[in-house]
């Protein structure tokens, strides 16, 4: 099936990308600055799954940024939509098959660190699997981050408010309880979300340069007493879109 998707995509594009980006909830405005743009909607690819979550448009956008050919997946797949883990990894499979050697994987995530500011960003240097699809919490250490990615972080941390920390993956779709957040935080989690870990792991398995970035969209349950909705997340992220796009541009320059 994957090869069938690739054949269909290749028949519709003239660009050979080397960098693939997965754009998280509300972070899709980055594609507005892509030059020589080519767009393929997921529903134009026979048999390809569809994004069902607000803030995920469901399309591939290809083009040029900083003289680099890129492909953006503007819309990802989540377990809570009824997809299995293989489907959540599918954008990375597509990137690899099209020739990408770098994956930049982004998300909007709940923040468990009170000293961090909403709307700012965190480089993911560790992942924690709290889906319990396996018996225990699975911790994936900073082998995900190679020397090149560490160098990019060091170059950019003086120009942006960027943190480093652990991304905690949960199934969703409901937000976590304060008790769950307390436990995850004690185990070392910094941010929490319902995506990203499968994509990061798949890119690592492909031996790609892997860059994971979380936009801090809300404080997690118990950190803030405010009731949270997905629209609240999108509102915070929308205010960060310009800084987010600038950050991605600068990362692409350094790759």
Domain boundaries, the chain: 2-254
Residue 190: the pLDDT is 96
Mean per-residue pLDDT, 62-90: 93
pLDDT in tens, 191-226: 999 999 999 999 999 999 999 999 998 898 878 666
Mean per-residue pLDDT, 65-81: 92
| CATH number, domain 2-254, options 3.30.930.10, 1.10.10.10, 3.40.50.1580, 3.40.50.1370 | 3.40.50.1580
Selected residue with higher pLDDT from 126 and 236: 126
Mean per-residue pLDDT, 134-139: 68
Mean per-residue pLDDT, 30-53: 92
Q: Supply the DSSP string of 43-96, one letter for each residue.
A: GGSTT-----STT---EEEEEEETTEEEEEEES---GGGT--HHHHTHHHHHHH
143 has a pLDDT exceeding 70 = no
55 has a pLDDT exceeding 60 = no
Residue 189 confidence class, pLDDT cut points 50, 70, 90: very high
* DSSP state for residue 158 in the 8-state scheme: T
Residue 57 confidence class, pLDDT cut points 50, 70, 90: confident
Mean per-residue pLDDT, 129-149: 75
Mean per-residue pLDDT, 64-68: 92
Q: Which of 58-67, 75-84, 113-122, 231-240 has the lowest mean pLDDT?
A: 231-240
Residues 142, 139: Cα–Cα separation, whole Å: 10
Percent of residues, the chain, with pLDDT higher than 70: 92
Residues whose CB is less than 8 angstroms from the CB of residue 85 and which lie 6 or more positions away in sequence, other chains included: 79, 133, 198
Residue 123: the pLDDT is 94
Mean per-residue pLDDT, 90-94: 97
Mean per-residue pLDDT, 88-117: 95
Percent of residues, the chain, with pLDDT higher than 90: 60
**Pairing label, strands 19-22, 102-111:** parallel
Residues whose CB is less than 8 angstroms from the CB of residue 96 and which lie 6 or more positions away in sequence, other chains included: 203, 206, 208
Residues whose CB is less than 8 angstroms from the CB of residue 158 and which lie 6 or more positions away in sequence, other chains included: none
Q: Which of 53-62, 68-77, 82-91, 120-129 has the lowest mean pLDDT?
A: 53-62
Residues whose CB is less than 8 angstroms from the CB of residue 4 and which lie 6 or more positions away in sequence, other chains included: 46, 47
Residue 182: the pLDDT is 93
């Amino acid at each position: 099936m994957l090869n069938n998707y690739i054949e269909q995509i290749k028949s519709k594009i003239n660009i050979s990308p080397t960098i693939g980006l997965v754009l998280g909830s509300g972070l899709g405005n980055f594609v507005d600055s892509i030059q020589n743009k080519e767009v393929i909607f997921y529903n134009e690819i026979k048999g390809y799954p569809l994004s069902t979550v607000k803030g995920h448009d469901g399309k591939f956008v290809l083009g040029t940024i900083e003289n680099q050919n890129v492909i953006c997946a503007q819309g990802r797949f989540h377990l809570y939509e009824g997809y299995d883990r293989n489907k959540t990894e599918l954008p990375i499979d597509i990137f690899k098959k099209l020739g990408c050697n770098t994956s930049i994987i982004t998300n909007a995530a709940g923040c468990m660190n009170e000293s961090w500011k909403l709307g700012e960003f965190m480089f993911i240097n560790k992942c924690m699997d709290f889906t319990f699809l396996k018996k225990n919490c699975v911790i994936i250490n900073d082998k995900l981050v190679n020397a090149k990615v560490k160098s990019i972080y060091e170059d950019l941390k003086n120009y942006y408010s960027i943190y480093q920390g652990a991304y905690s993956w949960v199934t969703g779709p409901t937000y976590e309880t304060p008790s769950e957040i307390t436990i995850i935080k004690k185990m070392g989690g910094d941010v929490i979300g319902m995506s990203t870990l499968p994509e990061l792991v798949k890119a690592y398995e492909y031996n790609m340069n892997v860059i994971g970035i979380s936009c801090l969209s809300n404080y997690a349950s118990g950190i803030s007493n405010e009731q949270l909705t997905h629209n609240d997340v999108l509102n915070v992220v929308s205010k960060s879109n310009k800084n987010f796009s600038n950050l991605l541009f600068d990362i692409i320059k350094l790759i």
